[in-house]
Amino acid sequence: MAKLTKNQKVAYAKVDADKAYTLNDATKMVKEVSFTKFDASVDLSVRLGVDPRKANQMVRGIVTLPCVGVVYSRQRTGSPRRRR
């Protein structure tokens, strides 16, 4: 295993692996332990306990996410480039 950095050690010290956090507490914790200078993404896994092979247990839905300050600009070459 690779050696842990200082920031990783601080992040691991703040998070209790045995505790189940609520969604609000987890989002606050992610903001506290993030040391990046950009907007990082967060993956969320939810166990629903349904059998996808059965038609009456299918789960489908749509989530609309806000567009937060994404601006598209054109470089000198004319190709679109994403800029924040």
What is the residue extent of each domain of the chain? 6-83
Please compute, for residue 69, the number of CA atoms within 13 A of its CA located in the half-sphere on the CB side.
3
pLDDT of residue 39: 74
| Reported confidence tier of residue 2, pLDDT bands at 50, 70, 90 | confident
pLDDT of residue 71: 55
| Reported confidence tier of residue 79, pLDDT bands at 50, 70, 90 | low
d(CA 54, CA 76): 53
Which tokens hold the place of 53?
């092979």
> What are the tens digits of pLDDT across the range 9-58?
988 898 888 988 888 888 888 888 888 887 777 777 777 888 878 878 77
